[in-house]
């Protein structure tokens, strides 16, 4: 198996090898997400009789991710990380195939089913970062999480290129080539996962020694971590999902939209090469605060202009803010549970997070169609501000505990 000899000879080298595999799989998964983010709302708009339902397939993808979050964790608890991740890629391949067929026969319902299957696949992807935490020693856990998320840098380059370049593959206006690209990405990810080695998860007979979920959830750190990741992810998707529609209304070209999404993906994943180090240097709560401020900057820019550069800079800030809040919140979450508790805590956290993401994805299209771009950003402001206040409260609480 990949890295088995290295694991015996050099544990640190073996850890880095496995984190690299996870980062590459994350890169392929995020490339899939980028292709779908760039094209799915437009495909939905073209296929739907009611144009207000344009983002429904994307919303259903998020609902499926939410629903499968807990089963995915339980499956990996029983069968191991590698088997679980391989099951996720298999679902992704089936979903891409259904999507190709549905676009061919011009079926909005079929495309929605395809997005559900791709959402189920995505529920497993969310655990790549936790698998990195399983592999890495305590001393570099935040860097390992950050490096895996940094795999999305490849997505920032490859995703928009695939989204635009694949349009001409089959001379179709319905982006069939984009779904073919997604199928290829899932297959490549499956090949990489064959070489993954992650320490076995805690067996069922040991789970009874852990604290109750309610006891863990009452910890302020758990609440802050869950709030930070939930709001950062939900608002990011809320604004990002509507961006292609808003740019189309403002007569920006598809290439310009793809470029804006590319800058956004760079903002999301580019900083991950340094985010882990920044967390160690300045503290996890400070980085979550910086992320919230950057997100507020994005919302402000969106409210004052709709030129290409307004969209590009705002979406870059949105991605940057998400990165600091999401990586920081994930790192904080890993400090709230014992090894025997990680399965249920990670599942609960991601279920809450993806529930909100599913809601914001669905509301994004409906609110944009019924109202306007400005309202989406106005509604986001109080949620981000409230999160910033809560994180500041937790920071003050920690400071008082140290002084006391």
DSSP codes joined into one string, 74-122:
HHHHHH-HHHHHHHHHHHHHHHHHHHHHHHHTT-HHHHHHHHHHHHHHH
Instruction: Output the pLDDT for position 174.
Output: 62
Cβ proximity of 55 and 41 under 8 Å: yes
In DSSP notation, 30-70 reads HHHHHHHHHHHHHHHHHH-SSGGGTTHHHHHHHHHHHHHHH
pTM for the full predicted model = 0.74
Sorted by sequence, the CB contacts under 8 Å of residue 83 that are 6+ apart come out as 75, 76
CATH number at residue 283: 1.20.1250.20
In this prediction, residue 10 has a pLDDT band, given cuts at 50, 70 and 90, of: low
Question: Coil, helix or strand for 239?
Answer: helix
Residue 388 is encoded by which pair of tokens? Answer: 């910033």
**CA–CA gap between residue 116 and residue 360 (Å, rounded):** 16
pLDDT tens digits, 96-151: 999 989 888 888 999 999 999 999 999 898 888 778 877 766 666 677 777 787 77
Report residue 7's pLDDT band, with 50, 70 and 90 as the boundaries: very low
Tokens of 330: 């994930």
Q: How many domains does the chain have?
A: 1
Asked if 331 and 279 touch (Cβ cutoff 8 Å), the reply is yes
pLDDT for res 155: 76
Six-digit token string for 233: 């992810």
Spatial separation of the C-alpha atoms in residues 324 and 292, rounded to whole Å: 8
pLDDT, one tens digit per residue, over 196-247 is 877 665 555 445 557 888 898 899 999 999 999 999 999 999 998 889 888 9
Q: How far apart are CA 44 and CA 21, in angstroms?
A: 33
pLDDT band at 3 (very low <50, low <70, confident <90, very high): very low
Q: For residue 371, what is the DSSP state?
A: S
CA distance 290 to 59: 28
pLDDT at 227: 95
| Interval 326-344 mean pLDDT | 85
Q: Over 90: is that where the pLDDT of 173 sits?
A: no
Confidence band, pLDDT 50/70/90 cuts, at residue 38: confident
Q: How confident is the model at residue 8 (pLDDT cuts 50, 70, 90)?
A: very low
Q: Give 56-110 pLDDT, tens digit per residue.
A: 888 788 789 888 888 888 888 788 888 999 999 999 999 999 998 988 888 899 9
Place of tokens 């992807």: 125
Distance CA 131, CA 383 (A): 30
Q: Which two tokens stand for residue 51?
A: 């144009």
CA pair distance 239, 310, nearest whole angstrom: 13
> What confidence score (pLDDT) does residue 340 get?
78
Range of the domain at 343: 4-403
Contact between 165 and 43 (Cβ < 8 Å): no
Confidence (pLDDT) at 187: 94
| pLDDT at res. 1 | 43
Instruction: Supply the mean pLDDT for the chain.
Output: 84
pLDDT at position 291: 96
Predicted pLDDT at 6: 43
Higher pLDDT among residues 8 and 291, named by residue: 291
């Amino acid at each position: 198996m990949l890295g088995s000899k290295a694991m015996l000879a050099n544990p640190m080298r073996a850890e880095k090898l496995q984190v690299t595999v996870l980062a590459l799989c994350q890169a392929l998964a995020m490339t899939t997400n980028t292709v779908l983010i760039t094209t799915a709302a437009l495909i939905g708009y073209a296929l739907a009789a009611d144009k207000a339902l344009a983002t429904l397939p994307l919303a259903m993808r998020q609902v499926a991710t939410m629903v499968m979050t807990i089963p995915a964790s339980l499956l990996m608890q029983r069968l191991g990380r590698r088997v679980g991740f391989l099951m996720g890629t298999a679902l992704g391949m089936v979903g891409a195939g259904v999507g190709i067929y549905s676009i061919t026969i011009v079926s909005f319902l079929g495309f929605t089913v395809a997005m559900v299957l791709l959402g189920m696949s995505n529920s497993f992807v969310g655990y790549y970062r936790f698998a990195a935490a399983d592999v890495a020693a305590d001393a570099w856990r935040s860097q390992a999480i950050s490096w895996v998320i940094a795999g999305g840098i490849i997505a920032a380059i490859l995703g928009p290129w695939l989204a635009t370049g694949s349009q001409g593959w089959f001379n179709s206006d319905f982006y069939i080539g984009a779904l073919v690209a997604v199928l290829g990405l899932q297959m490549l990810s499956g090949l990489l996962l064959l070489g993954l080695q992650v320490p076995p998860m805690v067996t069922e007979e040991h789970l009874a020694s852990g604290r109750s979920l309610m006891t863990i959830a009452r910890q302020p750190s758990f609440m802050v971590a869950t709030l930070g990741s939930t709001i950062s992810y939900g608002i990011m998707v809320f604004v990002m999902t509507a961006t292609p529609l808003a740019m189309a209304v403002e007569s920006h070209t598809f290439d310009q939209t793809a470029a804006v999404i590319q800058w956004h993906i760079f903002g999301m994943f580019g900083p991950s090469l340094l985010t882990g180090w920044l967390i160690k240097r300045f503290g996890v709560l400070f980085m979550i605060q910086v992320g919230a401020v950057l997100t507020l900057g994005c919302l402000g820019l969106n409210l004052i202009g709709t030129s290409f550069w307004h969209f590009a800079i705002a979406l870059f800030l949105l991605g940057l803010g998400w990165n600091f809040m999401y990586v920081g919140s994930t790192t904080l979450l890993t400090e709230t549970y014992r090894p025997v508790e990680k399965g249920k805590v990670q599942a609960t956290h991601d279920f809450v997070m993806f529930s909100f993401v599913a809601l914001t994805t669905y509301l994004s299209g409906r609110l944009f169609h019924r109202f306007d771009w400005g309202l989406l950003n106005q509604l986001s402001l109080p949620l981000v501000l409230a999160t910033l206040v809560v994180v500041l409260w937790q920071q003050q609480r920690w400071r008082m505990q140290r002084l006391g």
